[in-house]
Amino acid sequence: MNLRLRRKPNDKWTLARAALELANAANGVRPLARNGYLSIPVFAFGWPTTELAPFYLTASAADALRRGIRGDFASRRGRLALLLHAVSWGLLALLTRRNVASEPYFDAGLKEALGENYREIAATSQPAQQARKHAGVVGTGLSRRRYVEKTESISYGPYGGANLADIWRRGDLPRDGKAPVLLQVPGGAWTIGMRRPQAYPMLSHLAERGWVCVSIAYRVSPRNTWPDHIVDVKRALAWIKENIADYGGDPDFVAITGGSAGGHLTALTALTPNDPDFQPGFEDADTSVVAAVPVYGRYDWFSTEGRGRREFMQLLSWVVTKVGLTKGRQLYLDASPIKRLRADAPPFFVLHGTDDSLIPVPEAREFVDALREVSNSAVAYSEIPHAQHAFDIFGSPRGHYTAEAIERFLSYVQARRHVTAEAIAPSPSRQP
């Protein structure tokens, strides 16, 4: 009879593995670096850990049970490794609790800017369909199949795959329904621009509520050079104004949102309506929006001092603009939303996380303060404690809270516009 020799556990690897798991959990609780190029891997590992902590916790505990039965923790080093695992599980549980408990912070900024009764006003908007249940991570990931038909992936411009868009809408939405419209601009450091799978929690939530959402791709660097990125966003807006009625959308109510680089493009688009410099060949097109929701965006392209600014300016000059700040200063200023503030800006809702290791939260605060000093419209700001960059992408609690807060803000804007339109419309007795 052949007997298999039982493999002796590698104590050093067992301990190293536990230490790495603990470091990853600790990085989720508090980013291990917020400056320099090290902040990029800190974000890359900390972001999914922060948003998907329950999955990490379940997988780690199940694997530890398997290895414990095998005897991996029987030695002195093994017992120490098990202790490290236990500490990491505690940190992952803390991350889960933080995520679930973050909902009031999304609402607080809206109440401050719009009033304590803003929810009641938002509920009077059209449409006001029943809110969906949270789909979870898996359900959210599959939501595009539910809301985007094959015939509703369209081309809005002449640049092939870079000018494609998905139209998110309920299948039973009337083609003449005049539903409110939202343009979603993806992030990716102006070098990626993938419309899939960004903002799926928000897109599916709004589509279920009866909105029409347009999620676009756009030309990115280094193959393309600024301002090609913003030109494509403007081109998409022009397409929406001309064509969205065919899909049941209202061309007179088009809002815009986006995260990271998409947040920058969102803010800049909203603050430069019909700017011919960003509309070559379609200067007469209407590219105004009724509201803007930039999420963890960049609003300053010219400052050189501060955490992460050196690396950011290198990215811009080497990859995006391909010209240095000294030589191309006006280009950098024109591309900075904080330098394009205006009294007639549309309502804004800005969101940012305090643990963002890529774009420091003070940049969002500075932009909001400056915009509030100039704009005659509402400027709401929600700062989310412990949230990393890109906290809205997964179907995590924060992802769904973001979707719901954005919908409430936009519904509030639509409801107020509807009331204003009714107030200024002539009564039937006065009509000729």
Cite the active site residues: 260, 356, 389
Three-state SS sequence of the chain: CCCCCCCCCCHHHHHHHHHHHHHHHHHHHCCCCCCCCCHHHHHHHHHHHHHCHHHHHHHHHHHHHHHHHHCCCCCHHHHHHHHHHHHHHHHHHHHHHHHHCCHHHHHHHHHHHHCCCHHHHHCCCCCCCCCCCCCHHHHHHCHHHHHCCHHHEEECCCCHHHHEEEEECCCCCCCCCCEEEEEEECCCCCCCCCCCCCCHHHHHHHHHCCCEEEEECCCCCCCCCCCHHHHHHHHHHHHHHHHHHHHCEEEEEEEEEEECHHHHHHHHHHHCCCCHHHCCCCCCCCCCCCCEEEECCCCCCCCCCCCCHHHHHHHHHHHHCCCCCCCCHHHHHHCCHHHCCCCCCCCEEEEEECCCCCCCHHHHHHHHHHHHHHCCCCEEEEEECCCCCCCCCCCCHHHHHHHHHHHHHHHHHHHHHHHHHHHHCCCHHHCC
Residue whose token pair is 């190293």: 16
Paired tokens of 396: 């995590």
